[in-house]
Amino acid sequence: MVAKISVSILLLLGLACKSSKPSSAISIEAAKANQVEVTQMMEALTSDDMAGRDSGTEGIEKAAVLLETAFKSYGVNPYFETYRDRLSNFDKATDNIVGVIPGTDPKMAEEIVLFGAHYDHIGKGKPNGTDDIANGANDNASGTTVVMQLAKYFAKRGGNKRTLVFALFSAEEKGLLGSKHLAQKMKAQGASLYTMFNFEMVGVPLVDKDYLVYATGYEKSNMAEVVNSVAAQKIVGFLPTAKEYNLFQRSDNYPFHEEFGVPSQTFSTFDFTNFEHYHGVGDEMELMDMAHMTELINTMAPVLEKVVNQAEQNIKYN
């Protein structure tokens, strides 16, 4: 089944009828995201038309079409024969959407840096009046939008020395099934993974923190130290509550940690005080902070670009 996505949404996003040929490299400033584009992607992913993006439904299929169309417009190639990666561990037909930008360095291109986020949600939830659609704005249209904007940034910039894979996972809400499937598949195919950056629930800013995002499993590797060193500022911090609730094992970074044994961590801004609509119908677009999301993308993109291009594999387990 291939669901149709509204042509008006594609036109709104500026995705329709564009060439898949990557643009020539441009400046960092010119490659950065703008708030209008961030808002448009979020609005499309959280529309009632997608019915909460439950895995194996027509709603998530519409989201899949949106994402693969966006990848094509950015000039991001399919990682497999197509952008679709059909899950082998879920009883309904549903797909990860996976793109790639090959590395330019003959040796470093063999190493993969993976950017991930899950794009599924729970579909419907406990009704609030007449509304029973759990649109999943923070969880995880926000992380999906960040990864898509990073893909667009890197495609515009060009020159990434390592190969970059951008994976949007289905069936995270069913037990990390999309990321488990892809991690096992990439491992079986002999992929050489350097590190994995995952984005989860980044739609609202942290409260009273001196950093932009926290990393789950902070103490397990030097990922935060490397990112902060490259940024020359503290943009990744430690959230004790994340360790208390063992968030390291509860998002799509974990299967890659298990399969590849390399630092694979999640960046998030959900701090258990700043958002009260987890898995509820109240997780709506209007509660998201678009200025914050745009700042996050534009702060992280050039920093992660430098990390990608470092000659040594500097991110290591402690």
Model confidence pLDDT, tens digit, residues 289-309? 999 999 999 999 999 999 999
Check pLDDT > 70 for residue 264: yes
Kindly state the tokens that stand for 316. 């290591």
Q: What number of CA atoms fall less than 13 Å from residue 298's CA on the CB side?
A: 17
Confidence of residue 128 (pLDDT cuts 50, 70, 90): confident
Q: For the residues 223-237, what does the mean pLDDT come to?
A: 98
Check pLDDT > 70 for residue 7: no
Residue 22: which region, alpha, beta or left (left: phi > 0; alpha: psi -120 to 50)? beta
Check pLDDT > 60 for residue 20: no
Residue pair 206/212 in contact (Cβ under 8 Å)? The answer is yes
Model confidence pLDDT, tens digit, residues 33-61? 999 999 999 999 999 999 999 999 999 99
Confidence of residue 142 (pLDDT cuts 50, 70, 90): very high
Model confidence pLDDT, tens digit, residues 159-197? 999 999 999 999 999 999 999 999 999 999 999 999 999
124-128, 147-151, 165-169, 190-194: which has the minimum mean pLDDT?
A: 124-128
Residue 25: which region, alpha, beta or left (left: phi > 0; alpha: psi -120 to 50)? beta
Give the relative orientation of helices 290-309 and 142-157 as an angle to the nearest 10 degrees: 50
Confidence of residue 125 (pLDDT cuts 50, 70, 90): confident
pLDDT of residue 130: 83
Which ranges in the chain belong to alpha helices (H)?
Answer: 7-13, 28-31, 35-45, 58-74, 142-157, 177-188, 223-231, 240-244, 254-260, 290-309
Q: How far apart are CA 198 and CA 11, in angstroms?
A: 29
The pTM of this model reads 0.93
pLDDT of residue 276: 85
pLDDT of residue 38: 98
pLDDT of residue 131: 85
Confidence of residue 32 (pLDDT cuts 50, 70, 90): very high
Model confidence pLDDT, tens digit, residues 63-120? 999 999 999 999 999 999 999 999 999 999 999 999 999 999 999 999 999 999 999 9
- The mean pLDDT value of the chain amounts to 93
Q: How far apart are CA 158 and CA 154, in angstroms?
A: 6
Percent pLDDT > 70 in the chain is 92
Q: How far apart are CA 308 and CA 160, in angstroms?
A: 7
Kindly report the backbone phi and psi dihedral angles of residue 304, in degrees, each rounded to the nearest multiple of 5, phi listed first: -65, -30
Other C-beta atoms within 10 Å of 283: how many?
A: 29
Confidence of residue 24 (pLDDT cuts 50, 70, 90): low
